[in-house]
C-alpha cells in the first residue's frame, strides 16, 4: 500500500531515491482523503474568504502547519499561497499529531490535513473548519463547504492510499488483487466507516489506478520543481 506523497512527491524530492514510480504498477485505489482547511480558535475568522482577507492584511505573520516537509499538506499550503496570493509561513511537524496539537493550542494559525486527523477537534469546536479542498461535500461533514463554494474554485487537494505491485507482475494476479480490493470497498461496514472518517472509496480498475498514479507523479513533480521545494523547507 502506497501513500500519495510517497509515490508522487518523493521521486522529485529525493535525488538518490532507490526506486522510481515505473518500478510499480497500479492495482487498486484503497481510499482518497480530501483535505480540510482548519484554523485555530484564536484566528478571528469563520470562513475562507475572511481568512484570505485576514492573511493578506498580515503578510508573513501567519503560519501554517504541515505533517512534514514534502507532504501533501505542505504542498497544499504552497498552492494555497499561490492560488490566494498569500504569504503564509510553512512550519513542518513530524506527523499529524503534533501539527494538530499546536494548531489547537494556537501556536500556528492554519493546518491543511485529512479529516480523520482533526474530526474530533472540528466537532468539539477546538478548530474551525473553513473549507474542504474537494469537488463535493463529505457526508461526515455536511456543513463544511467545498473550496469552490467558499470562494476558491479549482483548489482541490486529495491524499490517497493505493495498492501497487512490482512492474512485470502477471496480469491475472493484478486482476485478482484488484477484485479483492474492490469487494472489500463495497462492504457495508467499510463504506460506513469511510463515511464516518471522511474518506472516499473508489471502485477503479487497475488501468484507472495506474493512469491516475502516473498523472499524480507528473503533477506533484512539477509543483515541487517549480517551487524549489525540499525536505528541509
For the chain, list the domains and their CATH numbers: 2-33+158-226 (3.40.190.150), 36-132 (3.40.190.10)
Write down the pLDDT at residue 4.
56
Quick: pLDDT tens for 45-70: 999 999 999 999 999 999 999 988 88
CB-based contact 26:164 (threshold 8 Å): yes
Of 2 and 104, the one with more pLDDT: 104
Average pLDDT on 3-21 reads 76
Residue 40: all three cell numbers together: 485555530
What is the gyration radius of the CA atoms in the chain, in angstroms?
A: 18
Quick: pLDDT tens for 177-229: 999 999 999 999 999 998 888 888 999 999 999 999 999 888 888 888 888 87
Q: Quick one: which of 146, 163, 144 has its CA closest to 154?
A: 146
pLDDT score of 130 more than 90: yes
Confidence (pTM) = 0.84
With vertex at residue 38, the alpha carbon angle to CA 5 and CA 128, rounded to the nearest 5 degrees, is 160
pLDDT score of 231 more than 80: no
Tell me the pairing of strands 127-132 and 36-40: antiparallel
Amino acid at each position: 500500500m502506497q501513500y500519495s506523497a510517497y509515490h508522487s512527491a518523493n521521486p522529485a524530492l529525493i535525488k538518490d531515491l532507490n526506486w522510481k514510480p515505473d518500478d510499480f504498477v497500479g492495482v487498486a485505489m484503497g481510499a482518497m482523503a480530501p483535505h480540510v482547511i482548519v484554523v485555530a480558535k484564536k484566528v478571528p475568522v469563520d470562513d475562507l474568504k475572511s481568512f484570505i482577507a485576514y492573511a493578506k492584511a498580515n503578510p508573513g505573520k501567519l503560519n501554517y502547519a504541515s505533517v512534514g516537509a514534502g507532504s501533501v499538506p505542505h504542498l497544499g499550503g504552497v498552492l494555497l499561497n499561490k492560488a490566494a496570493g498569500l504569504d503564509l509561513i510553512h512550519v513542518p511537524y513530524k506527523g499529524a499529531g503534533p501539527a494538530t496539537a499546536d494548531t489547537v493550542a494556537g501556536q500556528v494559525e492554519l493546518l491543511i490535513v485529512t479529516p480523520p486527523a482533526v474530526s474530533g477537534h472540528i466537532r468539539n469546536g477546538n478548530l474551525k473548519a473553513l473549507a474542504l479542498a474537494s469537488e463535493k461535500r463529505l457526508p461526515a461533514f455536511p456543513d463544511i463547504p467545498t473550496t469552490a463554494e467558499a470562494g476558491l474554485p479549482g483548489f482541490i487537494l486529495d491524499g490517497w492510499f493505493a495498492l501497487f505491485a512490482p512492474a512485470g507482475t502477471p496480469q491475472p494476479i493484478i486482476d485478482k488483487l484488484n477484485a479483492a480490493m474492490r469487494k472489500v470497498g463495497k462492504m457495508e461496514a467499510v463504506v460506513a466507516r469511510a463515511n464516518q472518517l471522511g474518506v472516499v472509496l473508489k471502485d477503479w480498475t487497475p488501468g484507472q489506478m495506474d493512469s491516475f498514479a502516473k498523472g499524480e507523479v507528473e503533477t506533484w513533480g512539477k509543483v515541487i520543481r517549480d517551487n524549489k521545494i525540499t525536505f528541509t523547507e
